Structure 1
Amino acid sequence: MLRRQLGRKLEALRKAAGLTMEKAAEELDRARATLYRIESGAENVRFRAADVKEMLKLYGASDEDTELVLAMAAATRENKNWWHDYVGSGLPRWFQLYIGLEAAASDIRKYQPELIPGLFQTRAYAEQVFNMPGGSIDAQDSDERQRAVQLRIERQGLLTRFAAPQLSVIMNEAVLRRPVGSATLMAEQLHQILKASELPNVTVRVLPFSSGLHAGAMAGAFSIMAFPRDSSGKEMEPPVAYLEAATGAIYLDKPHEIAAYEAIWADMAGRALNESRSKNLIQQVAEEYSRA
Structure 2
Amino acid sequence: MLRRQIGRKFESLRKSAGLTMEQAAERLDRARATLHRIENGAEHVRFRQADVQQMLDLYGASTDDRELLLALTAATRENKNWWHDYVGSGLPRWFQLYIGLEAAASNIRQYEAELVPGLLQTRAYAEEVFRTPGGSIDAKDSSERQRAIQLRVERQALLTRFSAPQLSVIINEAVLLRRVGSATIMAEQLHQILKAAELPNVTIQVVEFSAGLHAGAMAGAFSILDFPKDSNGKEVEPPVAYLEAATGAIYLDKPHEIAAYDTIWADMTSRALTEPRSKNLIQQVAEEYSRA
Q: Normalization by structure 2: what TM-score?
A: 0.98
CA offset at residue 75 of structure 1?
0.7
State whether structure 2 residue 202 is matched by structure 1 residue 202: yes
State whether structure 2 residue 107 is matched by structure 1 residue 107: yes
State whether structure 2 residue 65 is matched by structure 1 residue 31: no
Provide the rounded CA distance (Å) in 2 between the counterparts of 1:17 and 1:230. 28
Is there any run of 5+ residues in structure 1 with no aligned partner, and where? none
Provide the rounded CA distance (Å) in 1 between the counterparts of 2:256 and 2:20. 24
Provide the rounded CA distance (Å) in 2 between the counterparts of 1:188 and 1:261. 32
Provide the rounded CA distance (Å) in 1 between the counterparts of 2:101 and 2:215. 25
State whether structure 2 residue 269 is matched by structure 1 residue 243: no
Q: Which amino acid aligns with 2:76?
A: T
Q: Tell me the matched-pair count.
A: 292
Provide the rounded CA distance (Å) in 2 between the counterparts of 1:117 and 1:7. 30
State whether structure 2 residue 261 is matched by structure 1 residue 261: yes
Identity %: 81
CA offset at residue 135 of structure 1?
1.5
State whether structure 2 residue 21 is matched by structure 1 residue 21: yes
Aligned to 1:181: 181
State whether structure 2 residue 103 is matched by structure 1 residue 75: no
Provide the rounded CA distance (Å) in 1 between the counterparts of 2:62 and 2:275. 52
State whether structure 2 residue 230 is matched by structure 1 residue 230: yes
Aligned to 1:211: 211
Aligned to 2:131: 131
Provide the rounded CA distance (Å) in 2 between the counterparts of 1:95 and 1:35. 20
SS in 2 for 1:281: helix
1:155-208 per-residue CA deviation (whole Å, 9 max, x = no partner) reads: 000101111111000000110111111111111110000000011110001111
4+ residue runs of structure 1 moved beyond 2 angstroms?
Answer: none
Alpha-carbon RMSD across the aligned residues, in angstroms, is 0.9
CA offset at residue 41 of structure 1?
1.6
1:52-102 per-residue CA deviation (whole Å, 9 max, x = no partner) reads: 111111211111111111110011111111111111211111111111111
Aligned to 1:88: 88
Provide the rounded CA distance (Å) in 1 between the counterparts of 2:28 and 2:229. 34
Q: Normalization by structure 1: what TM-score?
A: 0.98
Q: Which amino acid aligns with 1:202?
A: V
Provide the rounded CA distance (Å) in 2 between the counterparts of 1:184 and 1:40. 44
SS in 1 for 2:98: helix
Provide the rounded CA distance (Å) in 2 between the counterparts of 1:169 and 1:12. 35
Aligned to 1:164: 164
Provide the rounded CA distance (Å) in 2 between the counterparts of 1:3 and 1:271. 38
Aligned to 1:45: 45
**Range that drifts further, 225-234 or 192-201:** 225-234
State whether structure 2 residue 3 is matched by structure 1 residue 8: no
CA offset at residue 134 of structure 1?
2.0
CA offset at residue 29 of structure 1?
1.5
